[in-house]
Amino acid sequence: MKLLILLAVAILAVLPWFAGSYLITVMIFIFFYAYLGQAWNIVGGYAGQLSAGHAAFVGIGGYAAALLSAHAGLSPWIGMWIGGALAAVLGAVIGYLGFRFGLRGFYFVLLTVAFAEICRVIALNVDAVGGALGLYITFTGNPRQFQFQDNRAYYYVALALMLLATAVVRAIERHRFGAYLTAIRQDESACEALGVDTLRVKMQAMVLSSFLTGVGGTFYAFYLFSLQPNAVFGIPLSVEIIIRPIVGGAGTVMGPILGSFILSPLAEISRTYFAQGGWNGLHLIVYGVLLIAVVLFLPQGAYPALLRLARRRPA
């Protein structure tokens, strides 16, 4: 298994030198959404707290880094941590409201969506942050400004982000924190009786998850050179973040990556393919059908199903 992972990382590391720019772009999206999915996985997958408003953290992180860069001349390499910290503060507020007052299931979903919508409406209406026009970032091609002439640089940054978040999740899984998260997902009251401070553990998960997601916002902003309130704070982005880990296997280390390798190319290919045929929007239907199929046939996601297959074969 270890060897397999090393091999996969090695292939990904040399791939840009053999691949065309279209494939590189697709890979960047795979890595980036795997990263966001991995960040969500901590609170949504392991702890089982279904946040459906993670776009808010991407938006906060992206806006913070972009504004700091434009108005204070602060390098996005520093701004990304500040953006992450601000996202973590928002995550703490949402988490406290949700966990302290016992909002579970649907109610927590609604709370997280509501906060993301509040952020979206604010960004739309405050002209100081660009208002409805959004924020545009001037391209300088200066690596210090998180901008690169060569697409391959973005590729490596996105790959590094994905590997970093995966390493974090793997470390969590092997420590007490991870054991507590998994147990909380299955029975919170039982955890309390066994000495687990569930409020604190869930808060830690939410803060870490929103911090990492916020850091990703900087990449979003400086890769796409623009931030549109409806795009970065909107429900569709939150859904994009959630479905990869769910399809791949929520609460597993490999789930978000596998999910992203399945869904991101599918979205990309079906989008271009159907658009050429004049079927704009059909890719969303394909997406929807796939989601329904996963929920029906692989309720725990693709990764656990793959593991079962791999175990069955030698036996």
Partner 1 sequence: MSLLDVSALTKRFGGLLAVNGLDLSLAKGEMLGLIGPNGAGKTTVFNLLSGFLSPDRGEIRFGGRNVVGLKPHELCRLGMARTFQIVRPFPQLSVVDNVKVAALARHSGMAQALDSARAVVERVGLGARAEARAGGLTLADRKRLELARALATEPSLLLLDEVMAGLNATEIDAMVRLVAGINAEGISVLLIEHNMRAVMSLSHRIVVLSFGEKISSGTPREVAADRRVVEAYLGEEYVHPPQA
- Residues forming the site for partner 1 (CB under 8 A): 174-176, 179-180, 182-183, 186-187, 189-198
Q: Which amino acid is at 214?
A: G
Smallest distance, partner 1 to C-beta of residue 199, A: 8
Smallest distance, partner 1 to C-beta of residue 252, A: 12
Return the number of the residue (73 or 195) whose C-beta is nearest partner 1: 195
Return the number of the residue (33 or 177) whose C-beta is nearest partner 1: 177
Smallest distance, partner 1 to C-beta of residue 189, A: 7
Smallest distance, partner 1 to C-beta of residue 66, A: 41
Return the number of the residue (121 or 194) whose C-beta is nearest partner 1: 194
Return the number of the residue (150 or 192) whose C-beta is nearest partner 1: 192
Return the number of the residue (33 or 180) whose C-beta is nearest partner 1: 180
Smallest distance, partner 1 to C-beta of residue 237, A: 30
Smallest distance, partner 1 to C-beta of residue 98, A: 18
Smallest distance, partner 1 to C-beta of residue 195, A: 3
Smallest distance, partner 1 to C-beta of residue 176, A: 5
Return the number of the residue (199 or 290) whose C-beta is nearest partner 1: 199
Rg over CA atoms, the chain = 19
Query: Which residue from 75, 46, 63 is spatially nearest to 201, judged by alpha carbons?
Result: 46
User: How far, in whole angstroms, is CA 62 from its chain's centroid?
Assistant: 13
Return the number of the residue (144 or 311) whose C-beta is nearest partner 1: 311
Task: Return the exposure string of 284-296: e unless at least 16 CB atoms fall within 10 Å of the residue's CB, then b.
Answer: eebbeebeeebee
Question: Is there a contact between 304 and 254 (Cβ–Cβ < 8 Å)?
Answer: no
Task: Return the exposure string of 70-105: e unless at least 16 CB atoms fall within 10 Å of the residue's CB, then b.
Answer: eeeeebbeebbbbbbbbbbebbbebbeebbeeebee
Question: Is there a contact between 54 and 228 (Cβ–Cβ < 8 Å)?
Answer: no
Return the number of the residue (16 or 44) whose C-beta is nearest partner 1: 44
